[in-house]
Structure 1
Amino acid sequence: MTWIHQQPAWPHFYWDDKTLSTPLASVRHQQGRLLGRMDALGFSFQREASLNALTNEVVKSSAIEGEHLNREEVRSSIAQKLGMDQGGRLPASRHVEGIVEVMLDATQAYQQPLSEERLCAWHCALFPTGFSGMTPIMVGMWRPPSAGAMQVISSSYGHTKVHFEAPEATRLPDEMAAFLAWFAADGGLDPVLKAGVAHFWFITLHPFEDGNGRIARAIADMALARADQTPQRFYSMSAQIEAERKHYYAQLERQQRGSLDITPWLGWFLGCLERAIGSAGEALGAVLHKARVWECLHPYAVNERQRVVLNRMLGDFEGYLNTSKYAKLAKCSNDTALRDITALLAWGVLVQNPAKGRSTSYRLVTAEELRQFDPSKQP
C-alpha cells in the first residue's frame, strides 16, 4: 500500500477549481447570509449565539473522538473566559478548561500566526496531566520515534485492517515546517479552501501522539474565522462532522489511499460546511426567537420582574407559566404577577392556554404567532 504521503510529489496537493467553484460560491453565499442575519441582531444576542456555536464546537469535536464532555461545564467555561455573565456557573475540570482554551485561542486570536510553539501549547492544554486516558504520552512535542508507527487500525474475527498510517516520526520536523510555512503564506487561496486543505494535511501528518483530530479541526476553525473575518462563531463545523462521522472517516481514509488530487476531499468538506451553516439556522432559532420577542417589546415599559420571567421562559423553562409560578420567579405577590401577565398578554408575547379557572396557564408566543401579531417583523 502506498499512502498519499509516500507519493513522490508530496505534499504538492492539487484540485479541480472548476469542479469546486460552484460549491465554494454556494458556501460563501450562505456564510454571507448568516453573517448578515447576525449583524441585524444586537451585540448581546450575537454573543449568545456565538457562545452556543463555540459550545457545540468544543463538545462535538470531542464527541468525534468518542469523548463526551458535560455541555453545561463547557458552556460555563467559555462564558467565563469571554467575560459573559451566565449566572450560576458550573465549575469546569482542568481537562475541559484546556479544550476550551484551545478552541478560543484558535478562533478569538485567528489573526495571530500559527507556529510550532502555539501548536505545542494547544497539545499541552489538551493533555494537562501528560496522559491520554491511562496511557502516558509525550506532551507538547512531535511524536518521538520511540512511540512506534502511528497507525489507525480495526480488528474483527482475528483480521486486522490498517485504515491509515502516518509518516515516520523522523520526518516530522521538516514536514511540520513545510506545513506551517504554507499556512502562513498568502498564496491567494480562498480561506475556506485553505481550511479544508489544512485539515487534511495536518491529519495526514498526525504529528502528536494523540489529539490530532481535535487540533486539526481547531486549525480549520482558525482558517474559517479568517474567512468570516470575525472571532464570532455562528456555526459549528464539528457538530456537522459528528453528525456525518462515518462519511468523514471514510472520506479521510479514501483520500489517504489516493493521489495528491484532493478534489474529492475538498468537495466533501465544502458540502459538510454548507450543511453546517444551514443547520446553524435551526441551532440559532432560540436566540433569534429571543431577539424577536425583545424587539416586539421595545415600545413598551417592561419592568424588571417581567424581564426576569421572560428571560427564564426564553431559556431553560419547562412546562407552562401560571400566576403562582410567576410570583415565585419574580418574588412578588400573586396580584402583582397577574397584572404583569395581563400586560404581557396585551403586548403579544404571552398566549393564554385553553384551560380556564384554576388551570389557567400561559405559554410564550411562537415565532409564527409573532409574525402574525406584527407582520412588519419578518426574520
Structure 2
Amino acid sequence: MGHQKWNWQTKEWPHFTFKKEAIEALERNFLQKNGVALGAFKHIKQEEKDQLLIQILSDEALKTSEIEGEFLNIASIQESIKKNLGLESTKRKLPPAEFGVSEMMVDLYKTYNQPLSHKQMFQWHNMLTSGRRDLVDTGRYRTHEDPMQIVSGRLDRPTVHFEAPPSKVIRSEMDEFVIWFNTVHTIDNKSISPLAKAGIAHFYFVTIHPFEDGNGRIGRAIAEKSISQSIQRPALISLSQMIEAKKKEYYGTLEKHNRKCELTDWLVYFGQTILDAQENTLKVIDFLIQKAHYFDRFSNQMNKRQLKVIRRVFEEGHTGFKGGLSADNYTRIAGTSASTATRDLKHLIDIGALYKTGALKGTRYYLQLSEN
C-alpha cells in the first residue's frame, strides 16, 4: 500500500488555507471581548494588576506542564513567578521544573513585542529543560537520526499518529517558520486575522516539532505571543488551562489535520479555545475587583483570625472553596477553638461578609461578594 503523505511532505506545505467566513464570528467576538478586558483592566489598581499577572502566569505554567503529564507544585510556581517578575525575592532554592516554566512564562510576557527568533526559542527550551539529564539536545533543535514520531499502543505494534520532518531539515523549516511568523505580525500586515494567525502559528510549529522535548509548551507560548502581538499588549489569557480542560479534543483535532494543509476545522477549534480563555480572564478580573471592594468594606471590622480565614478563602479564586467553608475548616485555618470559630463566623454573617446555607453539621459559609 502506498504511504499517504504527512502534510509537510505535500506540495502545499507550508501554505495553509482556511475558509475565512468560518471564523469571522469568532474573530468579531474576540475583538469585542478584548475591548471589554482592556476597559476592565484600566479600572483596577496596580495591586490587582499584579495579582492578575501572578494568577494568570501561574495557572498557565501549571496547566501547560499538566497537558504534558507533568504535575508541578503551585506554591513553588507562584513563588517563581513573583521572583521572575521582581515582585518578591525569595531566598529559598526553587525546584528547577517549576522555576524553569515560570521563567519562560515571564519572558514571554516581558518580550511579547519583540520579533520571534531562534535564540529566544532556544532560551525557552533551556529554561524548560533545566535539570534534565535525559536529553541529548537542550537549547537547540533536535539532531537525532531516528524519526520523530508521536506513537501510542504496544511497543511491538505501535500506532504512529504522526511523524515530524527529519532532523536534517529542521533548521531550514524553522528559518521559514520564523520569517513567516515575523512577517504576518508586522503592524501593517492585515492579511490574516488575529485568531487565524495564532492558530496557524501553533499548528505550524508543532508540526515541525523542532525540539527533542517541550514542543507543546513552546508551541502554546508562541500562540500566546501571536495573540499579544495582534492586540499589542500582553494577552494574559489562560490558553493552556482551557486546552487542559478538554485535552482529548486538542490532540484529536491536531491529529485530524496532520495530513493536510487546509486548517478550517483546526482554526474553529483553536479560536473558540482562545475565546474561552479570554472569558476566563474576564472572570478573574471581575473577581479581583470584587475582592478589593470586599476588603474595603469589611477588613476594618475583622479580627486577625477572621482576616486569615477570609484571605485563605479568596485564594481559591473565582470558583471558591469546593462545597463551601465549614466551621471545622475555620477552626483549622484560624488555629482556634470551636467556640471561638462559632463566634467569629456569626460576627462575619452579622456584618454581611459571609452568608450561610444548610444547618447543623451541614452548615456551609460563602463569601457575600455582591453588594446587595
Contact 2:27 2:193 in 1 (8 A): no
Shift of 1:18: 1.6
SS of the residue 2:151 aligns to = strand
Q: Distance in 2 between matches of 1:166 and 1:324?
A: 56
Map of 2:278 onto structure 1: 277
Map of 2:33 onto structure 1: 30
Q: Flag the 1:296–1:116 CA change in 2: closer, same or farther, 3 A.
A: same
Map of 1:182 onto structure 2: 180
Q: Flag the 1:170–1:280 CA change in 2: closer, same or farther, 3 A.
A: same
Q: Distance in 2 between matches of 1:43 and 1:241?
A: 29
Q: Distance in 2 between matches of 1:36 and 1:166?
A: 42
Map of 2:142 onto structure 1: 143
User: What TM-score do the two structures reach when normalised by structure 1?
Assistant: 0.80
Match of 1:115 among 114, 117, 120: 117
Aligned: 1:50 with 2:48: no
Aligned: 1:371 with 2:371: yes
Shift of 1:161: 1.3
Q: Distance in 2 between matches of 1:324 and 1:152?
A: 50
SS of the residue 1:136 aligns to = coil
Aligned: 1:253 with 2:255: yes
Q: Distance in 1 between matches of 2:258 and 2:194?
A: 22
Q: Distance in 1 between matches of 2:176 and 2:329?
A: 64
Contact 1:58 1:100 in 2 (8 A): yes
Structure 2 unaligned segments of length 5 or more: list them: none
Q: Distance in 2 between matches of 1:5 and 1:326?
A: 56
SS of the residue 1:256 aligns to = coil
Query: Any residues of structure 2 matched to 1:179-258 within 5 Å, and which?
Result: 179-185=177-183, 186=186, 187-188=189-190, 189-231=192-234, 233=236, 235-258=237-260
Map of 2:19 onto structure 1: 16
Q: Distance in 1 between matches of 2:243 and 2:175?
A: 28
Q: Flag the 1:324–1:72 CA change in 2: closer, same or farther, 3 A.
A: closer
Bigger radius of gyration among the two: 1
SS of the residue 2:162 aligns to = strand
Shift of 1:2: 0.6
Query: Any residues of structure 2 matched to 1:307-346 within 5 Å, and which?
Result: 308-309=307-308, 310-315=310-315, 319-320=326-327
Shift of 1:83: 3.1
SS of the residue 1:162 aligns to = strand
Contact 1:61 1:238 in 2 (8 A): yes
Q: Distance in 2 between matches of 1:210 and 1:371?
A: 49
Structure 1 unaligned segments of length 5 or more: list them: 373-379
Contact 2:63 2:241 in 1 (8 A): yes
Residues matched between the structures, number: 351
Q: Distance in 2 between matches of 1:236 and 1:349?
A: 30
Contact 2:96 2:131 in 1 (8 A): no
Shift of 1:255: 0.8
User: What TM-score do the two structures reach when normalised by structure 2?
Assistant: 0.81
Contact 2:27 2:194 in 1 (8 A): no
Identity of aligned residues (%): 29
Shift of 1:82: 1.8
Q: Distance in 2 between matches of 1:271 and 1:237?
A: 11
Contact 2:135 2:212 in 1 (8 A): no
Q: Distance in 2 between matches of 1:141 and 1:55?
A: 26
Q: Distance in 1 between matches of 2:334 and 2:248?
A: 50
1:225 is matched by which residue type in structure 2? Answer: S
Q: Distance in 2 between matches of 1:194 and 1:69?
A: 30
Contact 1:321 1:363 in 2 (8 A): no
Q: State the superposition RMSD in angstroms.
A: 3.5
